[in-house]
Amino acid sequence: MELLMQEDSDGQEQEKDAENTQEECEEGAEVCTGPTSEFYPCPHCTVSFTDLDFLEKHVKWVHQKQYLDKLKNCLSSRALNPIPKHACTVCGGSFSSKVKLNAHMGEAHPSAPPRRLHTCPTCARSFQYLKNLKNHCQRWHNMSVVTRGGHLSCANCGKSFKATWGQGPHMCHGPATTEPEDTPICLDVGVSCLECGKKVRTRQSLLDHMRTHTGDRPFVCKDCGKRFVEHRGWRQHMMIHTGEKPFKCPLCEKAFIRSHHLKSHLTTHSGKKEFSCSQCGKEFGFKSSLDLHLRTHSNERPFSCSVCGKNFNTKRNLRVHVKIHSSEKAYQCGDCGLKIGDIGALKIHLRSHTGERPYHCTVCGNRFIRLAHLQNHQRTHTGERPYKCTECDKSFTQSGDLVKHKRIHSGEKPFECPDCHRCYTSSGDLGKHRRSHTNLRPYACQECGKSFRLSGHLKTHMLTHTGEKPFSCPSCLRR
């Protein structure tokens, strides 16, 4: 009760100060530098505020039942009010919530000292001051707490609530003496979505969540037309076009777009890999990487194409594959005009023009365009052959080699020449054969200019220039 009276008196004092300021501004508008005359009155009482955030807190704490009814109406009608904007005092940027503003201040302006937050042990609230947390626990959760050593403790059993957050009601609580209608409602535990039952805390979270039901994607990329449900996803996507990489490695200064990419990269420096495969012993820095690796042993492909039924081990591979059926190719190479359906594939393709090879082997120094090529190459040093044939127990370093090998047992030859109708087990063999029809000879000798259809023919020809004779007779040693 005292807190409510204090808020009312504070609101009246703010209103009087604002009225005085407004009068001063009218008398001397040229020299006035005080606050503006814009006020936000409470719809349920006579108190006014100079900031929308203060007004929302007032309604939430003082008129809690009205606030809860309004939030439930938003859920049922899906008609949400605009989110108040919070401006950055340093760069002027606008944000829809104080949480996002604080996150921006920590990333863009880290010189300011971080705020120390005290978290509620029962719900998801946090406070800058310990006294506010104590009042919150006493008022909203009916907890008997005391402050000890800079944190809260239970006054009955002495349990410390240091570093605890959102654990639910404390077991020392006695039975409530008030009726359920009069029991304080802690709105921070969330309100359930009427569609799926998910609980949300803020209007912004509610707005973002409801789009998963409506299918609305209001954030559009002006460069490629891709649409997003959340502003955060759109902002991260725009970094692809702008080239911005805010997360930098402190050891090698390599930059990344997302924080978890940096976290994954740091394992290459520390060598800390907590998750190991129980079948082959290979270690990984993340459990998700281990889960993907385990599918190479079980041949699990949980993601299926609804058009042709082909299965894939990752959702990304399925997403890229589906664009084959829709003929969707939104990205085009500016050098050769090749159209590609995936932005990641376009970035990799551009390396064929720029000559960039970002992945290098630490053993022999060879560099590669793709990470998968480096991983396959490293198996030549480790001797690892994870892909085994179930027919003859032959093993391979690459999954594609195993697929081609299995066609030897099945007799399958899916690649047919359109000119002579000869069939081959792999597309590479078909490509080599078709050179006999087109007379294409891509491998040229730099010494004499003679060209060949196959790289092996060029290697054999080069022996005539070098004089090397690698094959010797075991009986007479003639070469």
**What's the pLDDT score for residue 302?**
84
| Type and span of the H or E element at 147 | strand 145-148
**What's the pLDDT score for residue 456?**
87
The answer on pLDDT for 95 being more than 80 is no
What confidence tier does 336 reach under pLDDT thresholds 50, 70, 90?
Answer: confident
More confident residue, 95 or 290: 290
Choose the most confident range, by mean pLDDT, from 78-82, 251-255, 468-472: 468-472
Give the model confidence (pLDDT) of 231-240 as tens digits.
Answer: 888 888 888 8
Q: Rounded to whole angstroms, how far apart are CA atoms 405 and 426?
A: 10
- Token digits for 353? 């023009």
Pairing of strands 151-154, 145-148: antiparallel
**What's the pLDDT score for residue 141?**
80
Give the model confidence (pLDDT) of 97-124 as tens digits.
Answer: 666 777 777 777 765 444 557 778 877 6
The answer on pLDDT for 268 being more than 80 is no
- Token digits for 395? 């093993």
The answer on pLDDT for 196 being more than 80 is no
Q: How far is the CA of 241 from the CAs of 223, 323, 336, 402, 449, in angstroms?
A: 8, 21, 20, 38, 43
Burial class (CB in 10 A: 0-12, 13-18, 19+), 49: buried
Q: Rounded to whole angstroms, how far apart are CA atoms 92 and 140?
A: 35
Residue 335, SS3 per DSSP: coil
More confident residue, 85 or 299: 299
**What's the pLDDT score for residue 203?**
64
What confidence tier does 461 reach under pLDDT thresholds 50, 70, 90?
Answer: very high
Average pLDDT, the chain: 75
Among 299, 279, 277, smallest CA distance to 287 is for 277
Q: Report the pLDDT averaged over residues 12-35.
A: 40
Max CA-CA distance within the chain?
A: 116
The answer on pLDDT for 309 being more than 50 is yes
Least confident of 29-38, 116-125, 328-337, 338-347: 29-38
The answer on pLDDT for 87 being more than 60 is yes
Give the model confidence (pLDDT) of 33-81 as tens digits.
Answer: 333 446 778 888 888 877 777 787 788 778 877 877 777 676 555 444 4
Give the model confidence (pLDDT) of 363-404 as tens digits.
Answer: 888 888 888 888 888 888 888 888 889 888 888 888 888 888
What is the CB neighbour count within 10 angstroms for residue 79?
A: 7
The answer on pLDDT for 175 being more than 60 is no
Q: How far is the CA of 448 from the CAs of 436, 463, 469, in angstroms?
A: 22, 13, 19
Q: Report the pLDDT averaged over residues 140-168.
A: 80
**What's the pLDDT score for residue 108?**
75
**What's the pLDDT score for residue 448?**
92
Choose the most confident range, by mean pLDDT, from 179-183, 281-285, 396-400: 396-400
Sign of CA dihedral 442, 446, 447, 449: positive
Q: How far is the CA of 67 from the CAs of 5, 122, 180, in angstroms?
A: 19, 21, 17
**What's the pLDDT score for residue 183?**
41
The answer on pLDDT for 201 being more than 70 is no
Q: Report the pLDDT averaged over residues 437-446.
A: 88
Please report, for the chain, the start and end positions of each structural domain, with discontinuous segments joined by +.
2-19+39-105, 121-165
The answer on pLDDT for 31 being more than 60 is no
